[in-house]
């Protein structure tokens, strides 16, 4: 009685794999491990038995599922790391924006003080230029100008006030 086709194909497949991996054992001859009468058709001989396929498919499906879950976990960890870094960068950016706003407000305050000082200086300079004699007395009283002008200094009190304004602007 002949063995079932699945059994014959399984035997052929197993034996054929051994023979194909080591062809030199044959002496380079035929690779058929069983007599031709037992092999059946070529298509039957090349197909592994259905039981082996389902086992292989189950193993492959399990491995694939494990690989998917592992990749999904790795991807989720990477996404979480990126989100954390984006959050940290956003926090730093918010802090920098707040500091920039503070610096802009401080700068605006300084510019306003400079404008006030310039307008006060212009008002005082105009007042000194309106009455040069009175302006010289005030300058001397404040200790901002010596009792007598240096030799190369202009003699007119109005010119003295103008020179004093120029000197103050340079400072």
Q: Is the domain of 101 the same as that of 154? A: no
The boundaries of the domain holding residue 3 are 1-24+31-48
Which is more confidently placed, 134 or 94?
94
Q: Is the domain of 38 the same as that of 66? A: no
Q: Is the domain of 57 the same as that of 112? A: yes
Surface-to-core class of residue 128, CB atoms within 10 Å of its CB (0-12 exposed, 13-18 middle, 19+ buried)? buried
How far from 130 is each of 112, 118, 154, 156, 158, CA to CA, in Å? Answer: 27, 18, 18, 13, 9
Whether 62 maps to a domain, the answer reads yes
pLDDT at 32 exceeding the cut of 50: no
pLDDT digits (tens, 9 = 90+) for 36-59: 445 455 555 555 555 555 567 888
Whether 126 maps to a domain, the answer reads no
Q: Is the domain of 44 the same as that of 62? A: no
Say how many domains are in the chain.
3
Largest Cα–Cα separation, the chain = 143
Whether 123 maps to a domain, the answer reads no
Highest mean pLDDT among 26-40, 49-63, 80-94 belongs to 80-94
Whether 82 maps to a domain, the answer reads yes
CB 132 within 8 A of CB 161: yes
User: Locate tokens 């039981």: which residue?
Assistant: 51
Q: Is the domain of 60 the same as that of 107? A: yes
Q: Is the domain of 113 the same as that of 136? A: no
Whether 92 maps to a domain, the answer reads yes
């Amino acid at each position: 009685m002949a063995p079932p086709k699945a059994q014959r194909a399984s035997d052929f497949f197993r034996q054929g794999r051994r023979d194909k991996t080591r062809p030199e054992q044959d002496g380079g001859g035929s690779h058929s491990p069983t007599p031709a009468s037992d092999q059946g058709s070529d298509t039957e001989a090349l197909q592994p038995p259905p039981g082996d396929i389902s086992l292989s498919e189950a193993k492959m499906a399990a491995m694939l599922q494990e690989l998917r879950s592992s990749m999904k976990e790795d991807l989720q960890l990477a996404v979480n790391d990126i989100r954390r870094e984006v959050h940290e960068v956003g926090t730093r950016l918010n802090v920098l924006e707040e500091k920039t706003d503070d610096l802009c407000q401080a700068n605006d305050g300084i510019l306003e003080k400079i404008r006030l000082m310039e307008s006060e200086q212009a008002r005082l300079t105009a007042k000194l230029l309106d009455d040069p004699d009175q302006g010289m007395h005030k300058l001397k009283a404040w200790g901002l100008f010596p009792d007598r002008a240096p030799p190369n200094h202009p003699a007119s009190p109005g010119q003295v006030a103008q020179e004093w304004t120029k000197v103050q602007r340079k400072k």
